[in-house]
Structure 1
């Protein structure tokens, strides 16, 4: 059977990919990647010029992203059908003895879509995960300051949480990363203000990519979009 590789691409700069990821990509016969309909896909953009010209590409197009709310039962139903179909396609290639490289932004096991394929494939085909630098690591590095000091506790939150839960967890941490901001940006800002972290918060858009932007959230961040952005609050802990 062929092997299916979930390959982490890191935060966006091809130079930050692992040597193993680079080698697998440059020798790939089959390359799969996620994207929205009508888009090229962020993961695919990162590896432009690295995939062999004769490789077979399999774009996996999400049936839904933000068109219906997460609470709508159809949301999980549509995504489950989508992941099942993608799994069947990859399994068929593996059964034919073909190796497949699945492109994953950041690290495959950190809020990545590949996890949903992995959980379905792991008992059906050989699967290998190639870890990578996470997007949040690329973001806090872009700010130019360490994220944690001494005994600081780092908390990673998602903007999709209820506002009260965001505020409660923010108030209990020393250093903070907020992901999945998107249309939740106003709610996240209110929680940062309520927890006393707003004036220390930074927002990083397209971390480690050519169009990267870094801005203090309390300052003028005109034109900066919450999509493909991560919010960072640095710890202030013990130092020698």
Structure 2
């Protein structure tokens, strides 16, 4: 397949960072203030967190493109329909952006955190990169903000850091937790009890911290063991610090 036409507009995948506009990169800020088209993901009927981060940055005459997820947690991840529905959604979203690019328009697609770190933009990137000019602007990740919020370094010396998904089976979580020095666990939500059990089984429960809304106005930081039985919100990360070699 031939490469993208140089006369096409560029699709920019721009990371917004963990949620505080002050932590956005200078390049991201510049692109957004100049953008004539800005796209973002959101749940149906919601403003969307990425859009809220943008605040008053955008031009008054900007064209906003809200890409609304057809499903989030309504269907289990194991259900074949989940991938089928989302795949069609990403194909449709990519087609909308491709049409703008082919019309000579640049489009900035914003992502919470970093676009290439478990972000929805990745699914657009793989569908667009061979037919459109696509550029990615990296950003501070939510996990960086989370471990910074604890006031302690996440790794020392030769510590091994593992990033785990709470959606994984409990036995797999226990295996990774046992073999790693420092841990970040994401996608907590309804998986909280499974994660608690895995940390207990691996002997790391008392060392775990729960950070909610890292770097945002609503930020809370507490030991997981003191967090009670509440179901944590979407913007939650569990951190277990390493304790490796140091001078």
1:160 aligns with 2:167: yes
1:17 equivalent in alignment to 2:24: yes
Say yes or no: does 1:205 pair with 2:189: no
User: 2 CA distance for matches of 1:51 and 1:30?
Assistant: 10
Q: Where does the alignment leave 5 or more consecutive residues of structure 1 unmatched?
A: none
| Aligned with 1:192 (options 186, 199, 204) | 199
Matched, 1:83 2:90: yes
User: What's the TM-score once normalised by structure 1's chain length?
Assistant: 0.98
Q: CA RMSD in A?
A: 1.0
Q: State the distance in 1 between where 2:151 and 2:50 align.
A: 25
State how far apart, in whole Å, the 1-side matches of 2:113 and 2:178 are.
27
Give the count of matched residue pairs: 240
Secondary structure at the residue paired with 2:196?
Answer: helix
Would you say the 8 A contact 1:138–1:207 is kept in 2?
A: yes
Q: Aligned equivalents of 1:184 and 1:10: distance in 2?
A: 24
Q: Runs ≥4 in structure 1, deviation > 4 angstroms?
A: 221-224
Q: Does 1:225 align with 2:235?
A: no
Normalised TM-score (structure 2): 0.95
CA deviation vs aligned residue, 1:3-45 (integer Å, no higher than 9, x gap): 0000000001111111000000001100000000111111111
Whole-angstrom distance in 2 between the partners of 1:149 and 1:68: 40
Q: How far 1:114 moved relative to its partner?
A: 0.1
The whole-number CA distance in structure 1 between the counterparts of 2:27 and 2:231 is: 34
Shift of 1:224: 6.9
Residue 148 (structure 2) aligned to one of 131, 141, 159 = 141
Aligned mates of 1:81, 1:186 — CA distance in 2: 32
Mapped partners of 2:113, 2:228: distance in 1: 24
Q: How far 1:225 sits from its partner (Å)?
A: 2.2
Residue by residue over 1:167-204, the C-alpha shift from the partner in whole angstroms, topping out at 9 and shown as x without a partner, is 11100000000011111011001000100110000011
| Cα deviation 1:78-110 (Å, max 9, x = unaligned) | 000000000000000000100000010000000
User: How far apart are the structure 2 equivalents of 1:7 and 1:29?
Assistant: 14
Report the Cα offset of residue 220 of structure 1: 3.8
Aligned 8 A contact 1:213 1:224 in 2:
no
Q: Distance in 1 between matches of 2:227 and 2:43?
A: 30
